[in-house]
Chains A and B, each alone.
Chain A
Amino acid sequence: MTEKILEVKDLVVEFRTDRGAVKAVNGVNFDVFKGKTLGIVGESGSGKSVTALAIMGLIPNPPGRVASGQILFNGKSLVNMEPGEMRKIRGNKIAMIFQEPMTSLNPVFTIGNQIEEVIELHQTHLSASERAAKAVDMLRLVGIPSPEKRVKEYPHQLSGGMRQRVMIAIALSCEPDILIADEPTTALDVTIQAQILELMKKLQKELGMGIILITHDLGVVAETCDTVSVMYCGQIVESADVKTLFNHPAHPYTKGLMDSIPSFDSTSGHRKERLQTIEGMVPSLFNLPKGCNFQDRCSKVTDDCRGSQGDPVLKPSKGVDHNVACFNPLN
């Protein structure tokens, strides 16, 4: 059994707005293991990024706050942790890479400066020259050619893929136990995406960190994750290991997501069948229906789903590690 390094229990994140409080994350549970990758999939507004920010202690407060639930990192609670204490963990033990490599680097500092800043904050025993040497090492680690020259360059001199490599270098420079990657390849081209995903897998093998990969791309999940949680309207509707999820999706939403992607299977030169779609759109968080949040878009909806049985809760389906929150799961 691999070591559990992060445990999220019944996490609720609330935002106060003029129209009342909304729960962007509503009762989320998951574990992260050493050396394994957990994928969190969902459409925009499903709460995946807010979950990540909550773990990092970066929810803007006000208006947001962790209303209830626990986040345990190696058994220690991160919720309501002393800010000074949290600063020692954030960026050091738990690091994050963001979606936009274009905007998450500071344009007026060299990339060497920006890597050294992290090392200076967290590894205070290193001297200035050791820090500079480490910055070069980190760039070499993420596969940037001629790192000695590149450390002196500014972000605008690098391409998008290179910048994302720099972001990864910054995140990994303190050898974190957990890396949270929030849509790390969404802004990149496919050939560059393939390079970055390969790099993350390689570094995970070398450094043994646990990764939380947040994405809307099921293809990326299938290729990189060990376990997957699917989010919808702030809740996890299905979680399983990656093979089970793709071969036997149990929640109609998961199945719908998979069917809406055009596949390359057909070899006929003629027009293919219509794409399967999920009708309608994601309900507003201000106005969630009673019962299952997916009921208005679901083809298998029954009276149970409309609130007569309460809200569906995540419970084991057939497999041990396959959980689904649905009254009429698919076979």
Chain B
Amino acid sequence: MSEYLIEVKDLCKKFPIKGGLLGREIGAVSAVNNVSFKIKKGETLGLVGESGCGKTTLGRSILRLIEPTSGEIIFNGKNIVDYTPAQMRAVRRKMQIIFQDPYASLNPRMTVGDILAEPMEIHGLHTEKASRRARLLELLNQVQLPADALNKYPHEFSGGQRQRICIARALAVEPEFIVCDEPVSALDVSVQAQVVNLLMDLQRDLGLTFLFIAHDLKVVEYISNRVAVMYLGNMIEVAESSELYGHAKHPYTKALFSAIPHASTEGRAGRIILEGDIPSPMNPPSGCHFNPRCWNATEECRKNFPPITNQSPTHQYRCYNPIQ
């Protein structure tokens, strides 16, 4: 058995663009473009990038909530891309997702008990009443909610508590791998810290593996062992989180980190302010997609798409003129 729980190889997702009177396909948006990575058991891979860079599409494609166009997803040594829906259901017990908006992802008409019991019902777990109830109480305890929450409805909880309910629902089927899609972005800072701590405790206690998607670099750097940076559907750099922060090779990574406002008035490093916006993924620039905004761009960057360079076994990037 390999040490990697999940391995993604050359994953692509293209969304068709339809136009004209007959609604014919006139093009495609490459939301995710030849992305490959591996995550070890018990590890957290952070995934950062600006809106529209494809990080959510990537997260969902891995669970096949969005069908990938091509590529392989190897989970526990098996390629799940060609699995039938029935086979997929069994695998999904092992892979779960937590969504960004805890207000929209809980059914307002179900009690918390019903919400947490539903995944167990689907997968036929804890079918006896007593054992079901014991499991529900255990779940609430794991996410530090009181036992009387079982009979309450989602509207009776605050944002942070609702996100705890979402976490408990994901844990209900004892998964090994959880995609956390911006789980703390909608929360206030003091509550955000509580949820981040909770996720890290759960990972330690239950041996979970996370793909942690967020646009907040500080949170990602904090929670992740390794961080991958995406830009317009491509993974442009991946490294251990401290390495990436201190020694980013790709100019975009460097600019992204430097744009974060620091909550201190001392020792502010020079800020790189990028010109312009992210180009439209419908019509990405030729060569390196970052070249129109890059201050290091050369003729080569405008012509060819940069290949992967191995800086070290754990640090890869795609750039012709990396930062020294």
Contacts and interface: CB of A to CB of B under 8 A. Distances in A.
Nearest to B262: A219
A190 interface: yes
A291 B78 CA distance: 61
A19 to B, nearest CB: 15
Contacts, number: 118
B242 A277 contact: no
Contacts of A276: 193
Contacts of B197: 274-275, 277
7 contacts: A161-B277, A191-B255, A191-B273, A219-B262, A246-B263, A246-B265, A275-B193
Contacts of A260: 189-190, 192-193
B218 A189 contact: no
A269 interface: yes
Nearest to A242: B265
Nearest to B53: A189
Interface of A: 43-44, 159-162, 189-195, 197-198, 216-223, 242-243, 246-247, 256-264, 266-269, 271-272, 274-279, 281
A43 B259 contact: no
Nearest to A219: B261
B309 interface: no
Interface residues of B, number: 43
Contacts of B189: 43, 216, 218, 257, 260-261
A189 to B, nearest CB: 4
Given A222-B264, A275-B196, A191 B259 contact: yes
B193 A281 contact: no
Contact of B263 (A161, A197, A219, A243): A219
Nearest to B204: A271
B204 to A, nearest CB: 9
B193 A277 contact: yes
Contacts of B271: 194
A247 B193 contact: no
A190 B262 contact: no
B50 A258 contact: no
Contacts of A223: 261-262, 268
A44 B103 CA distance: 15
Contacts of A269: 240-243
